[in-house]
Amino acid sequence: MTDELETEREDGRRPPRAVVGSHRIEEEMFGKVFDGNIVKRIWAFVRPYKKQMLIAVFAVLTFTATQLAIPLIIRYAIDHGIAPGTEDHSALLYSIIAFAAAILINFGASYVQETVVGRVAEDVLFDIRRAMFSHLQRISLSFMDKTEVGRLMSRLQGDVNSMQEFLETSVLSVGDITLLFGIVGVMLYLDFRLGLLTLAVLPILFVVRIYWLPRARIAFMAAHETNSVTNGALAEAIHGVRAVQSMDRQDINFTLYDDKAHANLRAHLTAAKYAQVMVPIVDSLTGVAMALVIVVGGSRVLNQALDVGVMVAFLFYIQRFFDPIRSLTLQYSVMQRAMASGQRLTEVLDVPIDIIDAPNAKDLTAEMDGSVEFRNVVFGYDPKHPVLKHVSFKVNPGETVALIGPTGSGKSSAMALVHRFYDVQQGEVLVGGHDVRDLTQDSLGQQIAMVLQEPFLFTGSVFENIRYHKSAATREDVIKAAKTVGAHDFIVKLTEGYDTELGERGGNLSLGQRQLISFARALVADAKILVLDEATANIDSYTEMLIQKALVRLLENRTGLVIAHRLATIREADRIIVLQNGELIEIGNHDQLMANGKLYSKLYNLNYSSFDDLPDEELEAATSGDFKT
Amino acid sequence: MSSDALKRAANRSDSLAHVNAAGWGRGLFTLVRITRMTLRHPWQTTFAIGATLVAAGLQLMIPRLLGHAVDQTQTAMAGGVAGKIAESALLTTALILLTVSILRGLFTMVQNYFAEAVGHHMGYELRLACYEKIQRLSFSFHDGVHSGDLITIGMLDLEGVRMYFSTALVRTILLAMLIGLGAYMLLSTDLVLGLVALSFVPFVAWRSSVTQLRLRATWLELQERLSVLTRVMEENLSGIRVVRAFASQVYELLKFDKASHAALELAHKRVGIRVKNTSAMTLSFFAAMGLVLWVGGNKVIAGEITVGTLTSFLTFMTILQMPVRQLGLMVNAYARASTCGTRLFALLDLDVAIKDAPDAKDLEISEGILRFEDVSFSYPQAAKRPVLQHLSFEARRGETIGIVGRPGSGKSTIAHLIPRFYDVTGGRITIDGQDIRNTTLRSLRQAVAVIQQDAFLFTTTIENNIAYGDPWATEPRIERASESAQLHNYVLGLPMGYDTVVGERGVSLSGGQRQRLSIARTLMLKPAVMVFDDSTAAIDAGTEQRIRIAMRRYAKDRVTIVVAHRLSSLMHADQILFVEDGRIVERGTHESLLAAGGRYRALYDLQVRPDDNIAATTKTEARV
């Protein structure tokens, strides 16, 4: 096999099934140049800074005016104070005074403009980001489930940043357009014919630029794209290095990566050609304009039809007037990018918030009894396909109820409804005797502690993770909770005990340890009702034992609703609810269910230590026996 | 597993971490090294530098020509030169100016293009070197480094080095030419006026450099603050269910605001630094221009210089203004290249710890006997803590060895030593009598396949993922492997079948499905030694059993090693090793170990129907 591989590669052929990196589908980078609706939405964020923006625009105009004035002052000094034949040399002094005034105004205006624009752009950027982030905190979970975190992050970062760029650019564009028209106006004013002649090169540049822009953009995009492709392949090599080495793919991968890196090189060289080809064109046109001024303007100076200072001023203006054209074409791309980003931002901001507190919502107090009741509940993420069908049951205060059933039976949905993550389509969910829709979400959240299947820890110390948002909890409370769930022993063995910083998502802890910390967190939250989704992931038997013990402690004196997978947990429960296909099919304690001989007893008798170890066909056999119709 | 990870976190003293502390000397050395790298493209470098010199010279001619043209009109008028002659003289000047402008444009194009080209060629070479190095560096290196850090080096640092030639080196030459030649021309024309005209250069150069360095420092800090903000947002969104479950939206918003304000404050500060300096630089430039106008104007009046000379002085200044302002960017480029380069080269210069010995031979499999002979091992980061101590066992073709023990007992490490992911620190491992350290890595890793705990999926089709180790494989073979791993039926149920893209940006597979894919992938390799490193933990017991039955076909041709904590995964093994604290404390078959009534027995009792005793003990404990 090795030999075959070597010879094949010498032919230049690549293995048919080998790829490195993946081709990411890029989002639309450019939108329309201008979209009224989006601009209106963005304007809403700028409005609080309206005064600053007005100041900025005023400063830009002033700044541009002084830029325009400087060659004029030089012209005046030459023609009226310096050039041979001028008698009154005081004009030079006046010019210098005017010059000094102009540059001081220029200094002030540029200072004001750049400070104000720079700061406002940053402010708006942070405001938009905050608005989105806070909106995301309220959006329904079904939207969050459907949307990748990475995608949302690119809204919060990339798209928001291009808004900032857009804002800065808009103000600059005002300046550039003013400068362009100002130069044209001043030149025509100084000498109409010479002005017209010199400006004749402008349309040429426009035409060239228009021809060049779409082609250049394709080349730039290609370079950008190959960058992300090669970087993606590199990232893959880093993350998958262990798999690569264990399957000995280094050589093939190197060849494939070389292909990508080489394509990247070629794309960049092409892009560089496109970028640079404009340089001699602009320089040549500048040369043509200056040559025209020298020949035509010069001969008019000779005929005394033109002051020499005007000719000098023309030469100065010519050196400046390509700058605004260049930056305006760049700003064109920025605008398009901003419109595409703005479109995506408004999409997120427009996602409706389904679950809001009712106008007369009450707070759920700690004095409530802690009961949970489902009354004829029908619910589906898609109303046409309900995952819970007319489910009714009541969990009495202090009782522990185990919810069991095969995957897709509706257990997790039932759990989410208690916390009002979603609203039911029919029936009602009551907590402490109140319909959850009549309660404020915050107070409901405070009375319900939840432990999710996948323990999620935040970056920060162990202490901070256990305390989480209960900032009133003392160190003693935290340690007590950790001791209760049996996490204390391993925590103190960490390098810095409770102050040990956890890596990304608690990466330096084992799954079982993370589970125990999340138990401690729920304990500190000290809620009357505990909703718990037991971990299914395989945890070694020793930690498993700790977790089982912790669970018993956690449920003491609380109403517990547990999605249970382990038989140990199930048997501990006061009552067991068996769900299948969204319907409640059995309810009762272990002994009762064993006695009635239905699904539960069949599963139990298969003698597995966990319901998740059940092979599919055994489960099928057990269920079909009962429900074959 | 967890203790390894902790040790890693605590022990970030790998060689890359020291780099940031490197001093000036090392930075300078790095710059010399990058400069030398550019010489690998002698022609392009020569073109770039040659064109820079010519372009700078041409650029300096333009003010002269403009001044000359102005003077021609003045002298003609004053001296009464005939209109025709004066006009043709102007035409000549105009044509020269046009030619110079065109040439300057062309040479600037050549300069920029080749400067970019040199950078991109260097970037290409560095990319390949970086990729190859990362692929070859051993597991212990990757254990000790954050993947994010490697990505930063391979993307951002590499970019910093790539930009060095065009933004630092070529710009330096251009600036030196413009300032040097320009100064010479100005000063030789008129010393006083020249000094006045150049007076803004030192101030702007100094301010610009200081500002850029300050901006760079604050930029790095801003990046840090932004990454805190990113983390807050990312964790919030990934853990949104926890956030909602604890009704802690308000708390999370406070966390966000804190991070956001910290970043915004610095962003504002940066605007301040930037604006203060750009405005001051512009003011100093214009002030110098005003002075030139005043001093020069008086000189013209006094008849010391002509209007043309004054014009050329003023245009000189406009030409010099941009490059002088960019001096800061140049200084920044040097600073960036030196820190980025130091980090990048530190990676490229790392020694690959596990590689072929100079006299390594291909592994030859005859009888198929794997032997651990008195093997000891400790991780390089914690050399004092032995992970394995004096381990010996033998496995023959057709046999299955089960290895079991508590987390952290060293059982996974045994799996990692066989394909030389790590090298033993004592004793030796042999396959058919050949010490694996004397065989080529390539032949060894083709003979030994490890199915990892967490199967990494590549973002490509399921088919390509299964054929990862043998990309020339035929479809029937891929499907057979997939069938044996009990994956085939699941794949057929997907709308795109084997063409379904999985991995980070594809369809997400459950833990068990990933592990099955990983098993299928390994079956493609036809290894002589197959090691399951707790790689069936997420697969349900029934499926696992079916996989085991399917594998029996192949098992007779190879050694199978099963590391697991679920006893049902290894009960059937020919020999079971119970590992504790890096030593084998019990060994035998399932039956004999059960009969012995030791640790294995205790674990067995715990796993089979553990509920009764746990419930009993916790109930009593709770009551006490």
State whether A239 and A178 are in the same domain.
no
State whether A445 and A590 are in the same domain.
yes
Site from B273, B299, B472 to mutate, A interface, most A CB atoms within 10 angstroms: B472
What's the number of domains chain A is made of? 3
Query: Mean pLDDT, to the nearest integer, of A457-473?
Result: 85
Q: Is B132 on the interface with A (CB under 8 A)?
A: yes
Judged by DSSP in three states, A309 sits in helix
Residues of A in contact with B147 (CB under 8 A): 238-239
Residues of B in contact with A494 (CB under 8 A): 6
- Number of residue pairs across A and B with CB atoms under 8 Å? 479
How sure is the predictor about B13, in pLDDT bands with cuts at 50, 70 and 90?
A: very low
Binary contact (B472, A281; C-beta < 8 A): no
Q: Is the pLDDT of residue A533 over 80?
A: yes
Q: Would residue A359 count as lying in a domain?
A: no
Residues of B in contact with A553 (CB under 8 A): 618, 622
* Residue B616 confidence (pLDDT): 42
State whether A583 and A507 are in the same domain.
yes
**Which of A319, A354, A389 is a domain's end point?**
A354
Site from B72, B96, B109, B316 to mutate, A interface, most A CB atoms within 10 angstroms: B109
Measured distance CA(B136)–CA(A241) in Å, rounded: 9
How sure is the predictor about A81, in pLDDT bands with cuts at 50, 70 and 90?
A: confident
* Residue A614 confidence (pLDDT): 57
Nearest to B151 among A238, A243, A315 (CB): A238
Low-confidence winner among A352-366, A377-391, B5-19, B159-173 (lowest mean pLDDT): B5-19
Binary contact (B108, A545; C-beta < 8 A): no
Q: Is B283 on the interface with A (CB under 8 A)?
A: yes
Q: Would residue A438 count as lying in a domain?
A: yes
Look over chain B and give the mean of its residue pLDDT values, rounded to a whole number: 86
* Residue B242 confidence (pLDDT): 84
- CA closest to B69 among chain A residues: A294
Residues of A in contact with B154 (CB under 8 A): 231, 234, 238
* Residue A4 confidence (pLDDT): 37
State whether A205 and A240 are in the same domain.
yes
Q: Is A198 on the interface with B (CB under 8 A)?
A: no
Q: How far is B86 from chain A (nearest CA, A)?
A: 8
State whether A180 and A243 are in the same domain.
no
State whether A548 and A465 are in the same domain.
yes
State whether A154 and A196 are in the same domain.
no
Residues of A in contact with B609 (CB under 8 A): 567, 607, 609
Distances (CA, A) of A576 to A395, A416, A570, A588, A601: 11, 18, 7, 5, 12
Q: How far is A238 from chain B (nearest CA, A)?
A: 6
- Angle, alpha carbons B29-B208-B110 (nearest 5°): 70
Q: Is B476 on the interface with A (CB under 8 A)?
A: no
State whether A449 and A413 are in the same domain.
yes
User: Max CA-CA distance within chain A?
Assistant: 123
Residues of B in contact with A495 (CB under 8 A): 6, 10
Q: Is A472 on the interface with B (CB under 8 A)?
A: no
Amino acid found at A330: L
How sure is the predictor about B452, in pLDDT bands with cuts at 50, 70 and 90?
A: confident
Query: Mean pLDDT, to the nearest integer, of B86-90?
Result: 89
pLDDT > 90: percent of chain B: 49
Binary contact (B245, A235; C-beta < 8 A): no
More confident residue, A367 or A115: A115
Binary contact (A283, B240; C-beta < 8 A): no
Q: Is A216 on the interface with B (CB under 8 A)?
A: no
How many CA atoms are closer than 13 Å to the CA of B138, on its beta-carbon side?
19
Q: Read off the pLDDT of residues A126-176 as tens digits, 9 standing for 90 and up.
A: 999 999 999 998 888 878 877 777 778 888 888 888 888 888 888 888 888
* Residue B15 confidence (pLDDT): 45
Nearest to B293 among A96, A123, A295 (CB): A96
Which domain range does residue A509 map to?
Answer: 372-627
* Residue A169 confidence (pLDDT): 83
Measured distance CA(B441)–CA(B443) in Å, rounded: 6
* Residue A11 confidence (pLDDT): 52
Torsion of CA A351, A355, A356, A360, to 10 degrees: 150
How sure is the predictor about B146, in pLDDT bands with cuts at 50, 70 and 90?
A: confident
Q: Would residue A481 count as lying in a domain?
A: yes
The tokens 């357009």 sit on which residue? Answer: A177
User: Max CA-CA distance within chain B?
Assistant: 126
Q: Is the pLDDT of residue A228 over 90?
A: no
User: Residue B506: left if φ>0, alpha if ψ -120 to 50, beta else—which one?
Assistant: beta
Q: Is A427 on the interface with B (CB under 8 A)?
A: no
Q: Would residue A145 count as lying in a domain?
A: yes
3-state helix, strand, coil in chain B (%, to 5): 70, 10, 20
Q: Is A557 on the interface with B (CB under 8 A)?
A: no
pLDDT > 90: percent of chain A: 31
Judged by DSSP in three states, A502 sits in strand
Q: Would residue A61 count as lying in a domain?
A: yes
Chain B, 518 to 537: residues with Cβ < 8 Å from chain A are: 521-522, 525, 537
Q: Would residue A11 count as lying in a domain?
A: no
State whether A390 and A529 are in the same domain.
yes
Look over chain A and give the mean of its residue pLDDT values, rounded to a whole number: 84
Q: What CATH number is associated with residue A531?
A: 3.40.50.300
Q: Is A397 on the interface with B (CB under 8 A)?
A: no
Site from B286, B498, B570 to mutate, A interface, most A CB atoms within 10 angstroms: B286
Q: Is A516 on the interface with B (CB under 8 A)?
A: no
Q: Read off the pLDDT of residues A260-296 as tens digits, 9 standing for 90 and up.
A: 999 999 999 999 999 899 889 999 999 999 999 999 9
How would DSSP label each residue in A168-218?
A: HHHHHHHHHHHHHHHHHHHHHHH-HHHHHHHHTHHHHHHHHHHHHHHHHHH
Q: Would residue A36 count as lying in a domain?
A: yes
- CA closest to B455 among chain A residues: A243
Nearest to A99 among B97, B106, B290 (CB): B290
Residues of B in contact with A230 (CB under 8 A): 127
Measured distance CA(B377)–CA(B373) in Å, rounded: 12
State whether A215 and A253 are in the same domain.
yes
Distances (CA, A) of A181 to A55, A69, A77, A186, A312: 21, 14, 24, 8, 20
How sure is the predictor about B40, in pLDDT bands with cuts at 50, 70 and 90?
A: very high
* Residue B373 confidence (pLDDT): 95
Q: Is the pLDDT of residue A186 over 80?
A: yes
Query: Mean pLDDT, to the nearest integer, of B509-534?
Result: 88
Binary contact (B233, A100; C-beta < 8 A): no
Q: Would residue A184 count as lying in a domain?
A: yes
Q: Is the pLDDT of residue B17 over 50?
A: no
Q: Is the pLDDT of residue A325 over 90?
A: no
Low-confidence winner among A172-181, A408-417, B334-343, B523-532 (lowest mean pLDDT): A408-417
Query: Mean pLDDT, to the nearest integer, of A10-24?
Result: 70
The tokens 């090169």 sit on which residue? Answer: A201
More confident residue, A368 or A542: A368
Q: What CATH number is associated with residue A132?
A: 1.20.1560.10
Task: Count CB-CB contacts under 10 A for residue B602.
Answer: 11
How sure is the predictor about B14, in pLDDT bands with cuts at 50, 70 and 90?
A: very low
Binary contact (B109, A277; C-beta < 8 A): yes
Q: How far is A195 from chain B (nearest CA, A)?
A: 17
Phi, psi of A116 (to 5 degrees): -65, -50
Nearest to B73 among A268, A308, A444 (CB): A308
* Residue A431 confidence (pLDDT): 93
* Residue A507 confidence (pLDDT): 63
State whether A479 and A599 are in the same domain.
yes
Give the pairing of strands A575-580 and A400-404: parallel
Q: Read off the pLDDT of residues A344-383 as tens digits, 9 standing for 90 and up.
A: 888 888 888 888 888 898 898 888 888 999 999 999 888 8
* Residue A6 confidence (pLDDT): 39
More confident residue, A579 or B541: A579
Sign of the alpha-carbon dihedral angle for B533, B535, B540, B546: negative
Measured distance CA(A295)–CA(A115) in Å, rounded: 44
Low-confidence winner among A225-239, A496-510, B393-407, B472-486 (lowest mean pLDDT): A496-510
Residues of B in contact with A115 (CB under 8 A): 271-272, 275
Distances (CA, A) of A523 to A421, A485, B375: 21, 9, 46
Measured distance CA(B327)–CA(B332) in Å, rounded: 9
* Residue A7 confidence (pLDDT): 36
* Residue A89 confidence (pLDDT): 79
Nearest to B469 among A248, A276, A445 (CB): A248
Binary contact (A82, B290; C-beta < 8 A): no
Q: Is B82 on the interface with A (CB under 8 A)?
A: no
Nearest to A82 among B130, B301, B463 (CB): B301
Distances (CA, A) of A12 to A2, A21, A252, A518, B378: 16, 20, 12, 54, 43
Chain A, 231 to 270: residues with Cβ < 8 Å from chain B are: 231, 233-250, 252-254, 257-258, 261-262, 264-265, 268-269
**Which of A354, A388, A413 is a domain's end point?**
A354
Measured distance CA(A520)–CA(A539) in Å, rounded: 18
- CA closest to B415 among chain A residues: A246
How sure is the predictor about B619, in pLDDT bands with cuts at 50, 70 and 90?
A: very low
How sure is the predictor about A619, in pLDDT bands with cuts at 50, 70 and 90?
A: low
* Residue A624 confidence (pLDDT): 58
Binary contact (B253, A1; C-beta < 8 A): no
The ipTM value here is 0.87
Nearest to B253 among A137, A152, A615 (CB): A137
Binary contact (A452, B242; C-beta < 8 A): yes
How sure is the predictor about A628, in pLDDT bands with cuts at 50, 70 and 90?
A: very low
State whether A43 and A176 are in the same domain.
yes
Measured distance CA(B580)–CA(B586) in Å, rounded: 9
